[in-house]
């Protein structure tokens, strides 16, 4: 046995991690560096070094993409790689889905803290697999492959890659499950497991993994894709050391991370005004009717308040104090999820275009209060769809930072929020005829990667083109999705009117799809999105939130006859009060005002309609330029009744020219009328305060709001004190509702 420690200078990795943490704690600088000496001595060499490692990671990703099988990975590049220090801090990242950079960092630290160095051992050629949200991951669906990199018997770094799977073997088919309520529903858990040695994945692991998921082919090829990328990164690092020398490399990795931290601080100082920023955000989960399991039958509204302090030195601190509790649902978030969501947004708002690495992690302080949905402290809960809470919660960060950006004059950088990346079709089935008869297909469209972005303070939001977790948003091609999900051809993809949040600058708009079940049996379908209330922190400076989602399914349809007779079928739901589905089909039509649903079984010729999310607006809609409103009408972004009621614009449709004609006089009159309506019907602050308070004291709140407040009151003394003081309520105030 070789008992030599694998860290530097005969230290163990645990000793190295402790030293790094102590140095940061004592100095506030990464590895205690007070000077970026390599950068100062020879900035060209330093920048070239960074660029060559960065290039190696980007090309590893591009190459690995061709090995992957999952349509999500192949079609929209749901994959990323990162290079880590021996202590697990990322110094360079690839392009791609950057959520996962700090998550793998937590996994490496877990292995160090658990003394993997001694048992199971960390050797050159070893391969580790992780998908446990308790040990640095977002959900079981994201699978990480991590390998150590050695030089001269010392561990000098780690390479890590992650892909998002179609299926992880959970309670139902799918990748962001709604029906999971405990760890045992989430699918296979690999908690930082060694799965290979000598650069080869062990056969027993692969046999086990293939039998644990519904889509073994995708799983296996994606494992090979991640390993191939990791090995390419390792080769590139060894090549780098041969060229630059090990001494340079060891110093360089420290400086690159400290520089990353300094870049964040500089950006914050440059872009934001110091101060305290606050936002409120919510997500509704109507499981009383939807859930199967008795304990999960609870209607919840999650409280997601956020306070951000920007100090004059450029440090950011995020505090989620006041959040409501976790629950028997899959939307609970571990630290990996919280860090991942935050990090990917910071790369988009503040640290884009420069050195992007864990330096930014070291520049941000955070509080995820124990016992809340963002830090439940209970590994036995389900963490399968943390995005349900993450996506809305981080609109609060976007909004806080937007106030800061606006205050500094960066009006074009303002983004008060984004559409909910949910509600693409999810589930799976089995082919009932043809060459693939008996094979499973999985619903894996990542159209959710194309949502509406919020408006800025100078322009409309991006239409159907944004996902908060993927800086390279791409909704993919229908043909590719259809190829993989043979049981669900698309009948249409069409702009869905009235999804965009209203404002002087409107939010990004979105579309909706109609899918039909075909050539299949045993089809499960489910989905998730905001429904009864809009998710997130809403619009800004008078802008409205986007439209909420809803659910439309047509069962037992006469589509077979319609197709045979070549008759008209529904391709949209432009006006739900006078629906094309009801008009054109003989069917059992199910409409629900919420979007998060447990799996339903569907038959061939059943139809599913799925509207995607718009983004929130900015500024008063009455200030919207009327030519822009005409354009919205012509493009089908809004319907004329919405435009009349909200923008005060009167227009009539010219059938001949197929365009909307504005009526300027009526518009002037209507806008003045709306201003008068506002004056006559709005309340003073005192009236509003009294009205809202009466809801608390006279028990007028809905069950889910009562539950939300009660949880927040019991979980945070600070939040309770502020709540009771603000509403002038007695210390023993309660809303008479039982919470878990
Ligand atoms: Mn994922």
pLDDT digits (tens, 9 = 90+) for 152-174: 999 999 999 999 998 999 999 88
Strand partners, 599: none
pLDDT band for position 192 (cuts 50, 70, 90): very high
Q: How far is the CA of 424 from the centre of ligand 1 (A)?
A: 14
Minimum mean pLDDT among 59-68, 503-512, 652-661, 693-702: which range? 59-68
What's the confidence (pLDDT) of residue 673? 98
What's the confidence (pLDDT) of residue 1? 46
* Contact predicate 146/68, CB 8 Å: no
Q: Considering only CA atoms, which of 86, 189, 58, 199 is closest in space to residue 132?
A: 189
Which tokens go with 719?
């939040």
Q: How far is the CA of 328 from the centre of ligand 1 (A)?
A: 20
3-class SS at 130?
strand
Which tokens go with 323?
């959040």
Q: How far is the CA of 698 from the centre of ligand 1 (A)?
A: 43
d(CA 172, CA 528): 14
The torsion of the CA quartet 468, 474, 475, 480, rounded to 10 degrees, works out to -140
Q: Considering only CA atoms, which of 12, 9, 63 is closest in space to residue 235?
A: 63
Q: How far is the CA of 679 from the centre of ligand 1 (A)?
A: 47
Q: Considering only CA atoms, which of 175, 160, 171, 159 is closest in space to residue 72?
A: 175
At 246-263, the pLDDT tens digits run 999 999 999 999 999 999
Q: How far is the CA of 164 from the centre of ligand 1 (A)?
A: 5
Q: What count of other Cβ atoms lies within 10 Å of the Cβ of residue 95?
A: 17
Q: How far is the CA of 604 from the centre of ligand 1 (A)?
A: 29
* Contact predicate 468/349, CB 8 Å: no
Q: How far is the CA of 236 from the centre of ligand 1 (A)?
A: 27
Q: How far is the CA of 78 from the centre of ligand 1 (A)?
A: 8
Q: How far is the CA of 131 from the centre of ligand 1 (A)?
A: 10
3-class SS at 500?
coil
Q: How far is the CA of 471 from the centre of ligand 1 (A)?
A: 14
Mean local confidence (pLDDT), 376-398: 96
d(CA 731, CA 544): 35
At 264-318, the pLDDT tens digits run 999 999 999 999 999 999 999 999 999 999 999 999 999 999 999 999 999 999 9
d(CA 125, CA 21): 27
Q: How far is the CA of 672 from the centre of ligand 1 (A)?
A: 48
Mean local confidence (pLDDT), 485-507: 93
d(CA 673, CA 648): 8
Mean pLDDT of the chain: 94
Q: How far is the CA of 506 from the centre of ligand 1 (A)?
A: 29
Chain-centroid distance of CA 353 in Å reads 21
Which tokens go with 263?
């870049």
* Contact predicate 329/296, CB 8 Å: yes
Which element (helix H / strand E) includes 640? Answer: helix 640-642
Does position 474 have pLDDT exceeding 90, yes or no? no
- Could you tell me which residues come within 8 angstroms of residue 447 by beta carbon, excluding any fewer than 6 positions away? 424, 475, 476, 481, 513, 612
Q: How far is the CA of 158 from the centre of ligand 1 (A)?
A: 21
d(CA 103, CA 116): 18
Which tokens go with 566?
């070549």
Q: How far is the CA of 541 from the centre of ligand 1 (A)?
A: 33
Q: How far is the CA of 141 from the centre of ligand 1 (A)?
A: 5
Q: How far is the CA of 308 from the centre of ligand 1 (A)?
A: 26
3-class SS at 71?
helix
Q: How far is the CA of 239 from the centre of ligand 1 (A)?
A: 32
Q: What letter does residue 613 receive in the DSSP assignment?
A: P
Q: How far is the CA of 479 from the centre of ligand 1 (A)?
A: 22
3-class SS at 277?
strand
Q: How far is the CA of 339 from the centre of ligand 1 (A)?
A: 14
Which tokens go with 403?
């106030």
Q: Considering only CA atoms, which of 264, 210, 591 is closest in space to residue 401?
A: 264
Q: How far is the CA of 138 from the centre of ligand 1 (A)?
A: 7
At 105-161, the pLDDT tens digits run 999 999 999 999 999 999 999 999 999 999 999 999 999 999 999 999 999 999 999
Q: How far is the CA of 659 from the centre of ligand 1 (A)?
A: 43
Q: How far is the CA of 163 from the centre of ligand 1 (A)?
A: 8
Q: How far is the CA of 384 from the centre of ligand 1 (A)?
A: 9
Per-residue CA distances from 137 to 107, 117, 224, 686 (Å): 7, 21, 19, 47
d(CA 262, CA 486): 50
* Contact predicate 710/702, CB 8 Å: no
What's the confidence (pLDDT) of residue 483? 79
Q: How far is the CA of 60 from the centre of ligand 1 (A)?
A: 20
Per-residue CA distances from 152 to 82, 87, 164, 236 (Å): 22, 18, 34, 16
Does position 674 have pLDDT exceeding 80, yes or no? yes
The answer for 192, left when phi > 0, alpha when psi is -120 to 50, beta otherwise, is: left
3-class SS at 608?
strand
Q: How far is the CA of 97 from the centre of ligand 1 (A)?
A: 9
* Cα-Cα-Cα-Cα dihedral sign, residues 710, 712, 715, 721: negative
Q: How far is the CA of 616 from the centre of ligand 1 (A)?
A: 24
Q: How far is the CA of 716 from the centre of ligand 1 (A)?
A: 30
Does position 75 have pLDDT exceeding 80, yes or no? no
What's the confidence (pLDDT) of residue 3? 64
More confident position, 191 or 476: 191
Q: What letter does residue 42 receive in the DSSP assignment?
A: -
- Could you tell me which residues come within 8 angstroms of residue 528 by beta carbon, excluding any fewer than 6 positions away? 176, 178, 385, 388, 422, 423, 426, 595, 596, 597
What's the confidence (pLDDT) of residue 67? 81
Q: How far is the CA of 704 from the centre of ligand 1 (A)?
A: 28
Q: How far is the CA of 522 from the centre of ligand 1 (A)?
A: 25
* Contact predicate 554/581, CB 8 Å: yes
- For tokens 């104090």, the residue is 321
* Contact predicate 508/454, CB 8 Å: yes
Tally the residues of the chain: 740
Q: How far is the CA of 88 from the centre of ligand 1 (A)?
A: 21
Mean local confidence (pLDDT), 375-396: 96
Q: How far is the CA of 193 from the centre of ligand 1 (A)?
A: 19
Chain-centroid distance of CA 67 in Å reads 25
- Omega into 233 within 30° of 0, i.e. cis? no
Q: How far is the CA of 538 from the centre of ligand 1 (A)?
A: 25
* Contact predicate 633/644, CB 8 Å: no
Q: How far is the CA of 142 from the centre of ligand 1 (A)?
A: 5
Q: How far is the CA of 168 from the centre of ligand 1 (A)?
A: 11
d(CA 1, CA 376): 41
Q: How far is the CA of 175 from the centre of ligand 1 (A)?
A: 8
Q: How far is the CA of 337 from the centre of ligand 1 (A)?
A: 10
Which tokens go with 262?
């300094």
- Helices 703-715 and 717-726 sit at what angle, rounded to 10 degrees? 120
Does position 447 have pLDDT exceeding 90, yes or no? no
d(CA 246, CA 241): 5
* Cα-Cα-Cα-Cα dihedral sign, residues 377, 528, 699, 396: positive
Strand partners, 318: 308, 366
**Nearest-5° Cα angle at 223, 221 to 228:** 95
- Omega into 120 within 30° of 0, i.e. cis? yes
pTM of the full structure: 0.95
d(CA 496, CA 145): 40
Q: How far is the CA of 72 from the centre of ligand 1 (A)?
A: 10
Q: How far is the CA of 397 from the centre of ligand 1 (A)?
A: 21
Does position 352 have pLDDT exceeding 90, yes or no? no
Q: What count of other Cβ atoms lies within 10 Å of the Cβ of residue 388?
A: 28
Q: Considering only CA atoms, which of 357, 346, 364, 359 is closest in space to residue 471?
A: 346
Q: How far is the CA of 166 from the centre of ligand 1 (A)?
A: 9
Q: How far is the CA of 573 from the centre of ligand 1 (A)?
A: 30
d(CA 375, CA 183): 15
Q: How far is the CA of 66 from the centre of ligand 1 (A)?
A: 19
Which element (helix H / strand E) includes 197? Answer: strand 193-197
Which tokens go with 709?
């407040």
Q: How far is the CA of 612 from the centre of ligand 1 (A)?
A: 18
Q: What letter does residue 612 receive in the DSSP assignment?
A: P
Q: How far is the CA of 83 from the centre of ligand 1 (A)?
A: 20
Q: How far is the CA of 469 from the centre of ligand 1 (A)?
A: 9
């Amino acid at each position: 046995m070789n008992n030599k420690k694998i860290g530097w200078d005969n230290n163990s990795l645990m000793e190295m991690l402790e030293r790094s943490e102590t140095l940061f704690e004592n100095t506030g600088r990464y590895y205690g560096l007070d000077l970026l000496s390599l950068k100062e001595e020879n900035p060209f060499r330093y920048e070239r070094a960074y660029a060559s490692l960065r290039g190696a990671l980007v090309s590893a990703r591009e190459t690995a993409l061709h090995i992957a099988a999952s349509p999500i990975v192949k079609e929209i590049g749901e994959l990323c790689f990162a290079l880590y220090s021996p202590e697990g801090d990322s110094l360079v990242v690839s392009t791609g889905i950057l959520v996962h950079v700090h998550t793998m960092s937590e996994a490496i630290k877990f292995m160090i803290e658990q003394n993997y160095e001694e048992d199971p051992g960390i050797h050159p050629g070893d391969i580790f697999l992780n998908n446990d949200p308790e040990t640095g991951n977002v959900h079981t669906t994201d699978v990480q492959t991590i390998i150590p990199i050695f030089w001269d018997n010392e561990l000098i770094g780690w390479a890590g890659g992650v892909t998002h799977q179609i299926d992880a073997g959970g309670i139902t088919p799918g990748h962001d499950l709604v029906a999971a309520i405990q760890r045992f529903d989430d699918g296979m858990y690999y908690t930082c497991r060694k799965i290979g040695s000598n650069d080869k994945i062990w056969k027993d692991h692969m046999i086990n993994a293939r039998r644990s998921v519904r889509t073994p082919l995708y799983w296996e090829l994606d494992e090979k894709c991640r390993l191939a990328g990791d090995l390419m990164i390792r080769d590139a690092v060894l090549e780098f050391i041969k060229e630059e020398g090990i001494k340079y490399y060891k110093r360089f990795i420290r400086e690159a991370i400290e520089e990353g931290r300094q870049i964040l601080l500089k950006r914050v100082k440059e872009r934001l005004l110091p101060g305290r920023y606050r936002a409120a955000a919510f997500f509704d989960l109507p499981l009383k009717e939807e859930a199967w399991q008795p304990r999960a039958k609870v209607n919840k509204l999650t409280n997601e308040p956020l306070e951000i302090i920007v100090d004059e030195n450029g440090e950011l601190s995020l505090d989620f104090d006041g959040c409501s509790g976790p629950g028997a649902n899959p939307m609970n978030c571990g630290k990996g999820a919280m860090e991942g969501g935050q990090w990917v947004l910071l790369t988009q708002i503040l640290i884009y275009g420069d050195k992007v690495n864990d330096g930014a992690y070291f520049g941000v302080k955070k509080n995820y209060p124990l016992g809340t949905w963002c830090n439940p402290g209970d590994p036995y809960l389900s963490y399968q769809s943390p995005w349900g809470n993450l996506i809305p919660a981080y609109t609060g960060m976007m909004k806080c930072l937007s106030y800061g950006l606006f205050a500094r004059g960066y009006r074009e950088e303002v983004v008060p929020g984004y559409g909910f990346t949910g509600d693409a079709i999810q589930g799976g089935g089995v082919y009932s005829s043809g060459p693939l008869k008996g094979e499973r297909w999985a619903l894996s469209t990542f159209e959710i990667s194309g949502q509406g972005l919020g408006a800025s303070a100078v322009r409309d939001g991006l239409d159907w083109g944004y996902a908060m977790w993927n800086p390279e948003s791409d909704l993919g091609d229908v043909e590719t999705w259809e190829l993989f999900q043979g049981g669900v051809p698309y009948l249409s993809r069409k702009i869905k009117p009235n999804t965009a949040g209203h404002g002087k600058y409107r939010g990004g708009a979105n579309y909706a799809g109609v899918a039909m079940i075909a050539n299949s049996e045993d089809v499960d379908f489910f989905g998730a999105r905001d429904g009864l209330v809009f998710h997130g922190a809403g619009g800004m400076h008078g802008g409205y939130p986007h439209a909420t989602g809803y659910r439309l399914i047509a069962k037992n349809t006469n589509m077979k006859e319609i197709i045979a007779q070549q008759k008209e079928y529904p391709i949209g739901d432009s006006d739900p009060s006078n629906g094309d589905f009801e008009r054109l089909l003989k069917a059992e039509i199910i409409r629900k005002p919420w979007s998060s649903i447990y799996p339903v079984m569907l038959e061939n010729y059943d139809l599913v309609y799925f509207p995607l999310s718009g983004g929130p607006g900015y500024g008063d809609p009455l200030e919207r330029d009327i030519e822009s409103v005409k354009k919205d009408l012509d493009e089908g972004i809004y319907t004329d009744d919405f435009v009349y009621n909200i923008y005060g614009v009167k227009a009539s449709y010219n059938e001949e020219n197929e365009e909307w004609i504005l009526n300027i006089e009526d518009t002037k009159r209507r806008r003045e009328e709306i201003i008068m309506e506002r004056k006559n019907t709005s309340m003073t602050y005192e009236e509003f305060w009294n009205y809202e308070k009466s809801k608390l004291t006279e028990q007028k709140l809905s069950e889910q709001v009562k539950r939300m407040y009660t949880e927040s009151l019991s979980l945070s003394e600070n939040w309770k004190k502020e709540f009771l003081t603000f509403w002038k309520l007695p210390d023993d105030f309660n809303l008479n509702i039982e919470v878990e």
